[in-house]
Amino acid sequence: MTETLAPLVAAARQGDRLAFEELVRVTSAETYTLAYRLVGNEHDARDVVQEAYLRAYRAIGRFRGDAKFTTWMYRITANCAVTHLERRRRHRHEELADDAPLADGNVERDPQARADASALRGELGVALQELPPRLRAVVVLRDIYDLPHEAIAAELGISETAAKVRLHRARRRLREQLFPMYGEEQQAHAV
pLDDT digits 0-9 by tens, 72-101 = 999 899 989 988 887 776 654 444 445 545
Given a cut of 90, whether residue 67 has pLDDT beyond it is: no
What is the CATH classification number for the domain harbouring 154? 1.10.10.10
| Same-domain status, 138 and 185 | yes
Q: Is the pLDDT of residue 50 over 90?
A: yes
pLDDT classification of 166: cutoffs 50, 70, 90: very high
What's the whole-number mean pLDDT along residues 2-31?
90
Residues 87 and 161 in one domain: no
The residue type found at 37 is: R
Residues 6+ apart with CB under 8 A from 149: 142, 160, 163, 164, 167
Note whether 176 and 131 are same-domain residues. yes
pLDDT for the residue 25: 95
> Is residue 140 located within the same domain as residue 180?
yes
Range in 5-9, 51-55, 94-98 the model is least confident about: 94-98
Distant-in-sequence, close-in-space partners of 89: CB < 8 Å, separation ≥ 6: 133
Looking at the structure of the chain, the number of domains it has is: 2
Q: Work out the burial of residue 138: count CB atoms within 10 Å of its CB; fewer than 13 is exposed, 13-18 middle, 19 or more buried.
A: buried
Q: Which segment of 38-52, 83-97, 111-125, 144-158 scores lowest on mean pLDDT? A: 83-97
Q: What is the CA radius of gyration of the chain?
A: 19
Give domain status of residue 90, yes or no.
yes
* Enclosing domain of residue 189: 112-191
Predicted TM-score (pTM) of the model is 0.57
Quick check: 26 pLDDT over 90?
A: yes
